[in-house]
Chain A
């Protein structure tokens, strides 16, 4: 329709004859466009990781030996049906906080911990209750726990925060989640490395800095990305711990 033939629209006057059909068509098309976009975008979102808080299991209370890697682990000695003795649990507090300070005085000692577990195929993490109800010294002598060195490894995968990976957030990994993961790691939530290929039967491992230090800040730039890195691997119960050799970390192209 040429400019001369186009009905002249003035907002505060009635819609001119000849324009009503067009405006109605555009209006319907607009609503249909938004509806179709919602169904297409919303209905094709990727499934998040198969992991979640298991509040339905109820509160779990177990006893074990506390180890600081420096991120605290519990080597379970007295468990229950869900968490048998011999299990190793990573521990975290509510929100984006770890339990380093609460576990510090208990290193190498028996402790009773209580909280809700997170499950990602297996149960490897527990979110402790607040205060002494979450972790407290237990009676008895702590048995000696073995740490099995597995040598130096070069691995490919992604650094994540363990809690979100374990279903505290779904999705809980990837670049869109990077800032959240950094914030968790800054708050001492145990960081984990998810490998592209299983290593010693596991597709993830707790990752620390070298020589018993926390994950170095240099690694934060690589969180949520596909990287290669090297480090010394060790097994603590059924959890692997990787001591990152920081300068070896590198982005994988493509």
Chain B
């Protein structure tokens, strides 16, 4: 949380996160660039430019694959949430690795001619009407443009400027980028492989992304939030006594919004489940120091008002709630963000 924009709001977790991710990337590149040529010992070695391009391209693919693992893993097992916390830094890192790959390709395969290399990239192969020999570079260009857009707009300034729903929709481009990368590899380098080790790793990686997302969707379907039943403008949530202290119970409202009913100091309050930062699931968070804390990035809100503590200015909608016997119910229509609502005592 921040009251002003800074390039990176560093903390220990971010340093450690970036350090570990950087260590993985450096290990990959060092081993690929400097150790595998010795292992290969080809009589006429692969050109260094091609070797380097392959190293950075394969690394970018692996990084993208890991990035797309993190979301479903965190939904299936919350212990993976620390990987989600600073995922944007890993995404920006991926963009730089991908740009380096593109640079090697551009300055090798598309250089040394009388044509401009950027123009050559577009006109050298125009066999768009066929699958074999399709200009797979086009998929790579698309993926790179997506990654650059994602990296440039990764800062919280853009998140606030575009609003979380638009920003999240924009950042769904990562899936299109990944599909494009899969097509780029499948129609390119994979067509020329005699040794199929890379093919197995590549297909395994792509299938793991699809499989993890399917698993996470199934997990959500089994364990996810349920639709509340409405009666007269009020939605039944649960038995008020079953909500643990400092925790929430989440219900889906008929209008599709999610509400999180928290218990704090023996009283119930209801706020929107969507964090104002990245629409993280507030109801899966905890109350820390009297404040609801988002499990994704730690944004905090007063559960009674939906307001972040001063000097922060984030706000989420609140809900009016009542008890019907031991059942807690909330009004379907949310209050404007930041509207104070009196908490309701949990029945004894």
Chain A residues proximal to chain B, CB less than 8 Å = 1, 3-4, 6-15, 19, 22-23, 26-27, 30-31, 33-35, 37-52, 94-97, 167, 169-171, 174-180, 182-184, 186-187, 220-225, 251
Assembled-state Cα–Cα distance A22/B77 (Å): 11
Enumerate 15 A-B pairs (CB-CB under 8 Å) in ascending A order: A12-B11, A22-B79, A27-B20, A37-B201, A38-B35, A39-B32, A43-B36, A44-B197, A48-B44, A49-B44, A174-B192, A175-B133, A176-B136, A183-B110, A222-B133
Residue of B with least CB distance to A251: B132
Is B189 in contact with A176, judged by CB distance below 8 angstroms? yes
Asked if B168 is at the interface of the complex by the 8 Å CB criterion, the answer is: no
In the complex where A11-B14, A30-B66, A40-B201 touch, is A225 in contact with B188 (Cβ < 8 A)?
no
Assembled-state Cα–Cα distance A225/B50 (Å): 20
Residue of B with least CB distance to A13: B298
Among A42, A49, A170, residue most surrounded by chain B Cβ atoms (within 10 Å)? A42
Assembled-state Cα–Cα distance A128/B312 (Å): 70
Is B78 in contact with A45, judged by CB distance below 8 angstroms? no
Is B125 in contact with A96, judged by CB distance below 8 angstroms? no
Residues of the B chain whose Cβ atoms lie less than 8 Å from the Cβ of A27: 20
Chain B, range 12-27, C-beta contacts under 8 Å to A: 12-14, 20-21, 23-25, 27
Chain B, range 31-62, C-beta contacts under 8 Å to A: 31-33, 35-36, 39-40, 42-47, 50-51, 54-55, 58-59, 62
Asked if B234 is at the interface of the complex by the 8 Å CB criterion, the answer is: no
Assembled-state Cα–Cα distance A47/B11 (Å): 46
Is B114 in contact with A9, judged by CB distance below 8 angstroms? no
In the complex where A12-B13, A175-B188, A222-B133 touch, is A45 in contact with B54 (Cβ < 8 A)?
yes
Is A178 in contact with B79, judged by CB distance below 8 angstroms? no
**In which size bucket is the chain B interface?**
35 or more
Is A9 in contact with B191, judged by CB distance below 8 angstroms? no
In the complex where A27-B20, A178-B133, A180-B109 touch, is A41 in contact with B58 (Cβ < 8 A)?
yes
Choice from B58, B284, B288 contacting A37 with Cβ under 8 Å = B58
Is A220 in contact with B127, judged by CB distance below 8 angstroms? yes
Residue of B with least CB distance to A8: B286
Choice from B195, B247, B286 contacting A46 with Cβ under 8 Å = B195
Is A38 in contact with B29, judged by CB distance below 8 angstroms? yes
Assembled-state Cα–Cα distance A97/B32 (Å): 32
Residue of B with least CB distance to A167: B44
Taken residue by residue from 170 to 202, chain B's Cβ proximity to chain A (1 for < 8 Å, 0 otherwise) reads as 000000000000000001110111110110010
Chain B residues proximal to chain A, CB less than 8 Å = 11-14, 20-21, 23-25, 27-33, 35-36, 39-40, 42-47, 50-51, 54-55, 58-59, 62, 66, 77-83, 85-86, 108-115, 120-121, 124-127, 129-130, 132-133, 135-137, 187-189, 191-195, 197-198, 201, 244, 247, 284-286, 288, 293, 295, 297-298
Assembled-state Cα–Cα distance A220/B112 (Å): 19
Is B46 in contact with A48, judged by CB distance below 8 angstroms? yes
Measured CB to CB, the closest approach of chain A to B3, in angstroms, equals: 14
Measured CB to CB, the closest approach of chain A to B105, in angstroms, equals: 9
Measured CB to CB, the closest approach of chain B to A3, in angstroms, equals: 6
Top 4 nearest A-B pairs (CB, nearest first) are A42-B36, A95-B112, A174-B192, A96-B113
Assembled-state Cα–Cα distance A48/B193 (Å): 11
Residues of the A chain whose Cβ atoms lie less than 8 Å from the Cβ of B30: 38
Measured CB to CB, the closest approach of chain B to A11, in angstroms, equals: 4
Is B20 in contact with A30, judged by CB distance below 8 angstroms? yes
Is B28 in contact with A187, judged by CB distance below 8 angstroms? no
Residues of the B chain whose Cβ atoms lie less than 8 Å from the Cβ of A45: 36, 40, 46, 51, 54, 195, 198
Is B189 in contact with A11, judged by CB distance below 8 angstroms? no
Residues of the B chain whose Cβ atoms lie less than 8 Å from the Cβ of A170: 44-47, 50
Is B133 in contact with A225, judged by CB distance below 8 angstroms? yes
Is B28 in contact with A38, judged by CB distance below 8 angstroms? yes
Is A31 in contact with B20, judged by CB distance below 8 angstroms? yes
In the complex where A39-B35, A171-B50, A179-B125 touch, is A34 in contact with B28 (Cβ < 8 A)?
yes
Is A39 in contact with B13, judged by CB distance below 8 angstroms? no
Residues of the B chain whose Cβ atoms lie less than 8 Å from the Cβ of A46: 192-195
In the complex where A221-B133, A222-B133, A224-B133 touch, is A42 in contact with B32 (Cβ < 8 A)?
yes
Residues of the B chain whose Cβ atoms lie less than 8 Å from the Cβ of A187: 113-115
In the complex where A34-B62, A42-B32, A171-B46 touch, is A183 in contact with B85 (Cβ < 8 A)?
no
Residue of B with least CB distance to A1: B79
Is B109 in contact with A179, judged by CB distance below 8 angstroms? yes
Assembled-state Cα–Cα distance A40/B108 (Å): 24
Assembled-state Cα–Cα distance A216/B71 (Å): 50
Residues of the B chain whose Cβ atoms lie less than 8 Å from the Cβ of A220: 125-127
